[in-house]
Each structure stands twice: as C-alpha cells, then as structure tokens.
Amino acid sequence: MAVSQRDQYLRYRSLCESMKRAVDAVSSHIHRAGSACSEVSPSQFAALEALYSRGPLHQGELACAISRSSGNMTVIVDNLERRGLVTRCGVHGDRRVVQICLTEKGAHLIELLLPEHRSRLIDVFSGLDEADFARCDALLREIAARIGGSDAES
Amino acid sequence: MAVSQRDQYLRYRSLCESMKRAVDAVSSHIHRAGSACSEVSPSQFAALEALYSRGPLHQGELACAISRSSGNMTVIVDNLERRGLVTRCGVHGDRRVVQICLTEKGAHLIELLLPEHRSRLIDVFSGLDEADFARCDALLREIAARIGGSDAES
DNA sequence: ATCGAACAGTTCGACATCAAAATGCTACCG
DNA sequence: CGGTAGCATTTTGATGTCGAACTGTTCGAT
C-alpha cells in the first residue's frame, strides 16, 4: 500500500523494457554479422538445434518446439530445405505428417555453429551473480506461466 | 569452480529461453486479438506511445526510441500516416529531417489504448515479489548494457 | 460404406524487419 | 560558386511472421 498503482505500473513498464532490450541484445550479439551464426536466421538456428538435439521431428512438433506458427514453420523449413540442410520425409502410415530430418550438411553446419554460439553466450552471461540469475529465471518463468495459464480461460 | 562450464552454458540457455518466452507471452497478452491494443501492431503502439509521452520527434529519434531501424521506421510511419494517426511535418531550416506528430485522432487512440494496456500489464505482474522484481530488472539491464558496451570494441 | 470432425501442412495476404543502395539536403572547404 | 563529405530518409529486395482459408488425410460414428 506504500506504493501507488501508478508507480507499480511504471515499474512494470520498466521490466518490460528491460526484458525486450536484453532479448534483443542477446539475439543480435549471437547473430551479429560476421559471426558464424549469422549464416542462418535465428529461427533457422533454433530449428536446426532442435533437430540436432532431439532427432527428426514432425513439422508440427518442430513448430511447437521453437514456438512458431505452423504457417511460419512451412516457410522456415522451405528455406532450410532449399539450402539442403534438412529434408522432408513422409511417414509410413500417416500421409498427413512430414518428418523433418537434418541432412549431413545440416548436422555439419549446426556442429560448426554451436561452439561459437556457446562461447558467445558465455561471454554475455559469465560473471553474473548466480543467485540473482536463478531468481530471475524463476521470475520470468512465472510470468510466462501466468499468462499461458490464464490464456485458456480468458 | 564447483560447476562445470557445460552446466553454466545450460543455465544460460535456460535463461535465454525464459526471457524469450516471457517477452513473447507479455507481448501476445497485451496485443491479443480482441483487446483494444490489437488495433495497432506492437511497433505502432510503441511509436504512438513514444510520441504521446515525449511529443513530436524526428523520425530518426523515434526509430531510436523504439529500437527499430530507420528503414523499418519509414514503413511504420507510412502505416500510421495512412490511418491518419500521425503526420510528417517538415522542419523549418533543415529539409532533411521530418518531424513526426500525433494527430488528434492518434492522440485520441493512444489515450483509449493506454488504460487497457496498463490494466493488462498489472494483470500479468501484480503480486510478484517486489525485491525479485527489482533484481531481475537490474540483471536484465546489466546484460543489455554489457553487450551494448562491448559492441563498439568488437 | 460414408459422412463429418479433427488434424497436418500449405497457401495467401498483410505487415514487420533488416541491410544495402539510392535520393535529397546541409554544411563545409577552397 | 562548386565540390565533397555526411546525414536523414526512402526505396528495394529478401526473409520472417501471423492468421485465416484451403487441401488432403485419418478416424470415429452411424
């Protein structure tokens, strides 16, 4: 009750700003022109990585894994396929689904990209207070969950 | 030294994920179809709000204020102008720059949108621990600053 | 068997976004 | 005055993104 609703709102705005800025900064740091990761778009990177760590996925699963719409996923896969990094394989027994598989070229590329991706991430985050870090992670998860949870009802 | 570099990397990945998810969730919550704010795109909303709170701005200042490229800003202003929400005014003495001004219609719209924007933000964030909140904000700022700072040198 | 609901992907239209090239001005220098 | 450097904006071309409409498939109910 010490704080007015208006002050609270302003602090919320501030956190929103900080979140956006941090996300943009990290993403642009990783995909900066000249870095190895700049060879693929963020979405493409996310897709390749998901396929690399989890193996072949249905296009829908992949879309879900990297939080993209199905329409968008079609385009992303189109572009990856055009460069020969993934293939669309039919699934025996259900002709509705397409399995997306990394090609050798795709696997090679993501293996090439991951070390730099990793070192850039370490650049950015290392040395920060671990406890703050964990609390921040938890808070952000709580925020996302809160919205996700209240989504269905509203 | 208790934690391996690999563990650290995984925690970094986790925070990145959480950040992205939280940002996406908040943004989609606010601009959800049906909400008043869904009448304009997030970029358009940001532009209108910046103009509303700071007064007329050069197109370049506006781009900077909402972290968009100049090319992108042109399109955003085009779309706002097309709907009669802003106008481009020449500046006396320097014909290179364009001043972007809210029209009455634009000011009216943003005034209509802000209350709902505000209440949706409060929905999302209220009740969270204030101390965590502040620490999280500080951490995110530190991350963005760290990248922004190291940007020039690299 | 076949109808219809549910599902997986694709297509389409609109907008967003960026980087790079082009345009149009200003300012400065000789 | 004329040239050049630099800035603000626009244009262009490629990609990303979504939501809605569409196509084809599966599967359950009748």
Q: What is the pLDDT of residues B83-99, one digit of tens each?
A: 999 999 887 778 788 99
Does A153 have pLDDT greater than 70?
A: no
Please state which of the four CATH numbers 3.10.25.10, 3.30.70.120, 1.10.540.10, 1.10.10.10 is assigned to the domain occupying A17-148: 1.10.10.10
Strand C positions closer than 7 A to protein CB: 7-13, 15-21, 24-27
Q: Which of A5, A32, A137 to mutate to test the interface with B (most CBs of B within 10 A)?
A: A137
The average pLDDT across A132-142 equals: 90
Does B153 have pLDDT greater than 70?
A: no
What is the domain partition of chain B in residue ranges? 36-125
Please give the mean pLDDT across all residues of chain A.
88
Q: Of B25, B143, B150, which has the smallest distance from its Cβ to A147's Cβ?
A: B25
Q: B36-125: what fold?
A: Arc Repressor Mutant, subunit A (1.10.10)
Structure tokens belonging to residue A3: 């704080």
- Top-confidence residue, B32 or A105: A105
Torsion over CA: A25, A26, A31, A34 (sign): positive
Percent of chain B exceeding pLDDT 70 equals: 94
Q: Which of B146, B150, B151, B154 to mutate to test the interface with A (most CBs of A within 10 A)?
A: B146
pLDDT, tens digit, 9 for 90 and up, residues B9-68: 888 888 898 999 999 999 988 888 777 777 889 999 999 999 999 999 999 999 999 999
Set of chain B residues whose Cβ sits within 8 Å of the Cβ of A14: 137
- Top-confidence residue, A72 or A146: A72
Q: Would you state the pLDDT for residue A71? A: 94
Q: Which residue has the tokens 């005034």?
A: B111
- The whole-angstrom distance between residue A91's C-alpha and the CA centroid of its chain comes to 26
d(CA B117, CA B42) in angstroms, rounded, equals 11
